[in-house]
A and B are shown apart, each in its own frame.
Chain A
Amino acid sequence: MSKIGVFVCHCGENISATVDCAKVAETAGKYDGVTFSVDYKYMCSDPGQTLIKNAIAEKGLTGVVVAACSPRMHEPTFRKACAEAGLNPYMCEMANLREHCSWVHEKGDPTTDKAIDLVRVLVEKVKYNQSLNAIKVPVTKTALVIGGGIAGIQASLDIANTGHKVILIEKDPSIGGHMSQLSETFPTLDCSQCILTPRMVEVAQHPNITLYTYAELESLEGFIGNFKAKIRRKSKSLDEKLCTGCGLCTTKCPSKKIPSEFNEGLGMRTAIYVPFPQAVPNKPVIDRKNCTYYTKGKCRICEKVCPTGAIRFDQEDQIVEVEVGAIVLATGFTIKQTDFFPEYGYGKHPDIITGLQFERLASASGPTLGEIRRPSDGKVPQTIVFLSCAGSRDEAKGIPYCSKICCMYIAKHAMLYQHKVHGGKSYVFYMDIRAGGKMYEEFVRRAIEDDGVNYVRGRVSRIYEKNGKLIVKGADTLLGAMPVEIEADMVVLATAGVANEGAEELAQKLHVSYDPYHFFAEAHPKLKPVETNTAGIFLAGACQAPRDIPESVSMASGAAVKVAGLFSQDELTREPLIAVVNRQPAPVYSSCVGCFLCVSACPYQAIEKEEIKDRSGAVIKRVAKVNPGLCQGCGTCVAFCRTKSIDIQGYTHEQMYSEVMALLNEY
């Protein structure tokens, strides 16, 4: 027999102004199974909580209903109070008399009647509540960071510096990401590589970091604290232990006409290559698609010239299996190429380039050694036009969002151009200038006021070539949409930042959600920006949305703290409000018939197949089993199961049934 205590709170006058609290308590006191009922001015105050605790101790209560504010407000408070008095916290329920009753209805009998109903319903529910214990899961204190750009580097270093192991994987031959391609960075104009490369070296040398470059995630299973990842280490055709990174092979390789990814196609590289001089690790890989030996079966020059005999043509991809407790996704973004824009010539004109290509032109380590020269003929452009929002904020192009970084880098580009080409003329076509950020607006003003960049508010409708010039046709909307035509030598498109190709597949592998643009989705846009909906997987940098460097770094540090927090415990404690498949004595074992339709209904892949075996090991029955580490407690499977073999703790069939049956029982 239940011994339930009902505690009706006045909440000062918040509840008692419209609800007759004494009557609620009095009525509740008459219900079957209620042995104690009282109303009090402030139940959440110390004396109020003491009232509850004493009643539990003195009356030996088996269940508690606190009729007060929303459980979303104070459920943890009262559950904790119950636990302190020795009652299992999950034997406590709250009736929402404030938000759902007293605040929304006028004073009167119907309102008090409703309050009485709300209490009765929870009294009936609490009769079926069960003592639950928090779930403990062990934690593997190693993190997997996917992506070796600035976000991944920062996250790896931050986690490693808290004393935990990190495995960092990067799909390219070197870490560094887009930041390593940049010339200078806004708003300080310090050299990107100068601030990045020390970090890259730190990663390589950190005792807690294992770095796998040229590696990708093959598959992932498990759950928070207990992931098992398979990593594909793509063959570099190289014995990395023997290679000293002398670079002789790259100078002798005869395939020299391969567009360099690092230089955004503005420079060439060899088939065996190190992407850039400061690469980490500074050891080459063979690009098998372009290597003469792999394509034609002849060459092997690199093998001949290698002083240490490190080349391995027959090396195969290697699958490494690792166990990790948390994952940081820092796979970054990519940009639309110029061929995305029919109005700007489909990318056919060599002197219409992307912002990232301009970075390479402006970079001292770039193909022009930092001189701004046009790709077509190497001439220094005397007139240059920058176009912001190339694709971004354009519903028609399927990219309605703002790419965020372009306004700032365009100002930087224009500034760099003015610094490098004295007497040159630069124009920026913009829709709005979005320069929110510390020192950002000042930076843009500097470009306009000190460096004389011409900002034109308007969009460019067309670019075409005429007499060796690029004719840029646009309109100046600040001058009443007056047509503007500029004869330019070079045009830079600030093309939209978009999700990486394959982001969707990766998200599906990891079971994290993603937005319509395939950027990974955060768990909450404001309060959980680095978490995903999948516990134990965090986000850093531009894989979540276009981000600039300081934001990527902050996110990475944020994600690292989340990981470190997770790793600060040996066991994870989770709310036990999860689904459970029933188990019964032999010969039934479970009412589950093993149709496993729940498996595809579960949003978390938390349902597994369990084989029930006899002593000889023969399978008697296959039934569903919920993995308590993965289950988040939505109950989608519960309502779906035909045999009602799955139940969800805290919202069981019996609890919900009795709630509904008690709702209207005055009828």
Chain B
Amino acid sequence: MADFEPRIVAFVCNWCTYAGADLTGTSRIKYASNVRIVRFPCTGRIDYMLLLKAFDEGADGIIVSGCHPNDCHYTSGNFHARRRWIMFRSLCDFLGIDIRRIKFSWVSAAEGAKWADIVNSTVSSIRELGPYEEYRKIVKRPAKEVTNG
């Protein structure tokens, strides 16, 4: 397991967490390179189906992050998102999907350091959990050859 590098997909809103991650960069704070960020206008736009797709595609962990309550650029997108997360997370748990692999967080545009912490802690906790074999088994995808071109 020592050479296991977790694959983490982050679904973030444009106004807070994406900007926060920009600040991590401008502050030159180093963090694990395992994360790939997907930018959304708002956490309210993040479709739970996309989280499932990330697992389908081989993600070992997922981060969903947006503006703190009351900070939403669109006033209430994050509040709507939070309600959906409550239900989605609980359903996943009920189905036996390992919800330790889905991290929800609020990271503001000023919290560059927090973003680095969240990525690092997610990477290390997923590293401990190991690859998401259970899910991988149902995907049953033949190992893809790199077909770029």
Contacts and interface: CB of A to CB of B under 8 A. Distances in A.
Do A and B assemble together? yes
A72 B7 CA distance: 25
A513 B57 CA distance: 40
B69 to A, nearest CB: 12
A573 interface: no
A101 B46 CA distance: 23
A603 interface: yes
A636 B80 contact: yes
A106 interface: yes
Interface in B23-43: 23-26, 28-34, 36-42
B76 interface: yes
B8 to A, nearest CB: 10
A664 interface: yes
Interface string B81-115: 10010000000000000000000000000000000
Interface in B49-85: 50, 53-54, 57-59, 73-77, 80-81, 84
A27 B148 contact: yes
Q: How large is the interface on A (under 10, 10 to 19, 20 to 34, 35 or more residues)?
A: 35 or more
B148 A656 contact: no
Interface in A7-52: 27, 30-32
Interface in A615-667: 632-636, 638-640, 648, 650-651, 653, 656-657, 659-661, 663-667
B7 A667 contact: yes
B110 to A, nearest CB: 12
B54 A660 contact: yes
Contacts of A214: none
Interface string A562-597: 000000000000000100000000000000000000
B33 A111 contact: yes
Contacts of A336: none
Given A99-B22, A601-B80, A533 B75 contact: yes
A232 to B, nearest CB: 27
Contacts of A72: 14, 18-19, 22
A98 B40 contact: no
A659 B84 contact: no
A635 B45 contact: yes
A27 B147 CA distance: 11
Interface stretch (A114-122, A196-204, A342-350): A114-122
Residue picked from B14, B42, B143, most chain A C-beta under 10 Å:
B42
Contacts of B40: 635, 651, 656
B80 A666 contact: no
A65 to B, nearest CB: 14
Interface in A96-139: 96, 98-101, 103-106, 110-111, 113-114, 117-118, 120-121
Contacts of B36: 114, 117-118, 121, 663-664
B76 A603 contact: yes
Interface residues of B, number: 51
A477 interface: no
A54 interface: no
A99 B20 CA distance: 10
Given A103-B28, A651-B41, A665-B144, A634 B77 contact: yes
Contacts of A244: none
Given A104-B29, A664-B57, A121 B148 contact: no
Contacts of B31: 104-105
A589 to B, nearest CB: 24
Contacts of A121: 36, 38
B149 A30 contact: yes
A114 B33 contact: yes
Contacts of A162: none
A665 B58 CA distance: 8
A633 B18 CA distance: 17
Contact of B80 (A100, A113, A640, A665): A640
Contacts, number: 150
Contacts of B126: none
A634 B33 contact: no
B58 to A, nearest CB: 4
Nearest to B21: A100
Contacts of A664: 7, 9, 36, 54, 57-59
A74 to B, nearest CB: 12
A70 interface: yes
Contacts of A653: 47
A119 B108 CA distance: 25
A233 to B, nearest CB: 32
B135 to A, nearest CB: 12
B129 interface: no
A111 B146 CA distance: 19
A263 B29 CA distance: 60
Given A636-B42, A656-B47, A104 B54 contact: no
Interface in B112-133: 116
A118 to B, nearest CB: 7
Nearest to B36: A663
A120 B40 CA distance: 17
Contacts of B46: 639
Contacts of A71: 39
A121 to B, nearest CB: 7
Contacts of B34: 110
A107 to B, nearest CB: 11
Contacts of A111: 33
A104 B57 contact: no
Contact of A666 (B39, B73, B81, B146): B146
A103 B21 CA distance: 11
Contacts of B30: 104-106
Contact of A30 (B21, B32, B148): B148
Contacts of A665: 57, 144
Residue picked from A32, A513, A663, most chain B C-beta under 10 Å:
A663
A101 B25 CA distance: 8
B47 to A, nearest CB: 5
Contacts of A636: 42, 44-45, 74, 76-77, 80-81
A71 B46 CA distance: 19
B148 A31 contact: yes
A425 B33 CA distance: 70
Nearest to B73: A634
A522 to B, nearest CB: 13
A338 B21 CA distance: 49
A642 B23 CA distance: 36
Contacts of A106: 30, 33
A453 to B, nearest CB: 41
A181 B148 CA distance: 76
Contacts of A99: 21-26
Contacts of A639: 44-48, 81, 84
Sorted nearest first, the 5 A-B pairs with minimum C-beta distance are A635-B45, A99-B25, A636-B44, A634-B74, A667-B58
6 contacts: A70-B22, A100-B21, A100-B22, A636-B76, A639-B81, A663-B36
